[in-house]
Amino acid sequence: MTTYRLASIPGDGIGVDVTVEARKVLDRAAARFGFSLEWNEFDWSCERYAQLGAMMPEDGVAQLSAYDGILLGAVGFPGVPDHVSLWGLLIPLRRAFQQYVNLRPVRLLPGTTSVLAGRKAEELELVIVRENSEGEYSAIGGRHNAGRPDEFVVQESVFTRVGVERIIRYAFELARTRSSRVCSATKSNGLIHSMPFWDEIFAEVAADFPDVHSEQMHVDALAARMVQAPDRLDVVVASNLFGDILSDLAAAITGGLGMAPSGNINPSGESPSMFEAVHGSAPDIAGQGIANPVAQILAAAMLVEHLGETVAAQAIRAAVDRVLDEGRVRTPDLGGTDTTERLGTAVAEALG
Ligand code: NAD
Ligand code: IPM
Ligand code: MN
């Protein structure tokens, strides 16, 4: 029997609650589909920061590097500034492990309260391929003339040819396995250095994939299309920031933040990939046991799929669909009154 070594970092807020449920479902899937999971849990979080002054130990990356995969809850909580907590854990891990693809698939799930809930499921199935290692997320810049009337800040973006090309290429390869359509999101009318560079590389890569339909859109217009004509989109490739924003929008139209999974992927397989919900630690509902665990359960399905356990991944997704379709167990975001634990257990039981 294959044994996978997995690291779990529940993190902060509802990250803790939903990760318990995702592990429950994965353990059930492992038992059912004939593989085994060896878990190690890491208490890296804002709580750790408050006690020890760091989100993770100095050798945190080295500690994680031997694992087959990482399941991350969410990071960030009031009391620790977001730029400290996120640049102390999530962002350095994505970079250290060269997880340059942030894959964020969404599809219209049964029983959701989306504004587009009336649509047919096949109209609303798309994937955001978000650049995950550079771009607008940059520590370069600074504050000048502090305290003076002419005070200003500079926030630099860094787009490398290698970084842009590899994410666009990944999107085209992925499109070949789906509907053969790629749409690139930029803002070349406003950002006159980075985005025209991205467009140029997009056109070059597109020329290598004549069988894939390619399109470029301004990200603002693309946001509108995503709501009004989502059936015209399939693979959407975007920079770090645009991909971040578009993925919350995509989540909202397909069922809400409680339902959208994500994978931080190192396509070479040389370092572990890391799976998490698209959502954050939701301090507004933390500690109440009412967060929707579906996003994290679907992220766990992406994790086992990444490990090659495709049948188990599909079974998890089918179990989620069955439970949502029945509609007996619903957390408050889905219009019900059930707990995180109840919904997680329902999905685990639906696995048989
Ligand atoms: P958020 O995603 O945590 O919450 C946004 C809204 O969606 C809230 O009203 C929340 O209650 C709701 N929501 C989110 N997940 C839900 C779920 N599973 N079930 C039901 N409702 C859910 O975004 P935010 O409020 O902007 O961020 C809160 C904290 O999380 C911040 O510190 C932020 O930096 C951090 N964050 C971390 C990650 C991550 O670790 N990957 C991602 C996003 C935000
Ligand atoms: C996400 C989050 C993070 C991001 C934040 C918390 C830094 O919003 O994973 O979507 O923007 O990458
Ligand atoms: Mn986000």
- Pocket probe for ligand 2: among 80, 85, 244, the residue whose CB has the most ligand atoms within 8 Å is 244
Task: Flag whether pLDDT at 341 surpasses 90.
Answer: yes
**Would you state the pLDDT for residue 337?**
98
Ligand whose nearest atom lies closest to the CA of 87? 2
pLDDT per position as a tens digit, 263-277 = 999 999 999 999 999
Ligand closest to Cα of 245 equals 3
Distance 81 CA to ligand 1 centre (A): 15
Cβ of 131 closer than 6 Å to ligand 2, yes or no, is: no
Nearest-CA residue for ligand 1 atom 36 is 280
Please, are residues 275 and 306 in contact by the beta-carbon 8 Å criterion? yes
Res 43: pLDDT: 98
State the residue for tokens 């190192």. 266
At residue 120 the predicted structure's pLDDT band, cuts being 50, 70 and 90, is confident
- Residue 244 CB less than 6 A away from ligand 2: yes
pLDDT digits (tens, 9 = 90+) for 25-60: 999 999 999 999 999 999 999 999 999 999 999 999
- DSSP label of 158: B
Q: Is the dihedral of CA 213, 218, 219, 223 positive or negative?
A: negative
Atom number, ligand 1, closest to the C-alpha of residue 279: 2
- Ligand 2: does its nearest atom lie under 6 Å from the Cβ of 241? no
Using a 6 Å cutoff on CB, does residue 86 contact ligand 2? yes
Distance (Å) from CA 243 to ligand 2 centroid: 10
Q: Residue 121's pLDDT is what?
A: 80
Burial classification of residue 207, based on how many CB atoms lie within 10 Å of its CB (0-12 exposed, 13-18 middle, 19 or more buried): exposed
Mean pLDDT for the stretch of residues 120-132: 92
Extended beta strands in 195-234, E state: 213-218
pLDDT digits (tens, 9 = 90+) for 279-318: 999 999 999 999 999 999 999 999 999 999 999 999 999 9
Residue nearest to atom 12 of ligand 2 (CA): 244
Residue 112 has pLDDT above 90, yes or no: no
For residue 119, name the pLDDT band (cuts at 50, 70, 90): confident
**Tokens representing residue 103 in the block:** 């894959």
ipTM above 0.90, yes or no: yes
Q: What is the pTM of this model?
A: 0.98
Percent of the chain with pLDDT over 90: 95
Residue pLDDT, tens place only, 235-251: 999 999 999 999 999 99
Q: Contact at 8 Å (CB) between 203 and 168? A: no
Q: For residue 18, give the ligand 1 atom closest to its CA.
A: 18
Q: Rounded to whole angstroms, how far apart are CA atoms 335 and 343?
A: 13
| Per-residue pLDDT at 206 exceeds 90 | yes
Q: Where are the beta strands (DSSP E) in 52-98?
A: 69-74
Does residue 114 register a pLDDT over 90?
A: no
Is the per-residue pLDDT at 113 higher than 90?
no
Residue 11, phi-psi category: left (phi > 0), alpha (psi -120 to 50), beta (remainder): left
- Closest atom of ligand 2 to 132 CA is 12
Residues with CB under 6 A from ligand 1: 14, 18, 74-76, 82, 86, 90, 257-258, 276, 279-285, 291-292, 295, 333
Mean pLDDT of the chain: 97
The whole-number pLDDT of residue 123 equals 82
Look at ligand 1, atom 38, and give the residue with the nearest C-alpha.
280
* Atom number of ligand 2 nearest to Cα 82: 6
At 258, give phi and psi (nearest 5°).
-70, -5
To the nearest 10 degrees (0 to 180), the angle between helices 340-350 and 294-306 is 40
Q: pLDDT band for position 141 (50/70/90)? A: very high
Which residues in 115-254 belong to E strands, given as ranges?
Answer: 125-131, 141-144, 152-155, 181-186, 213-218, 235-238
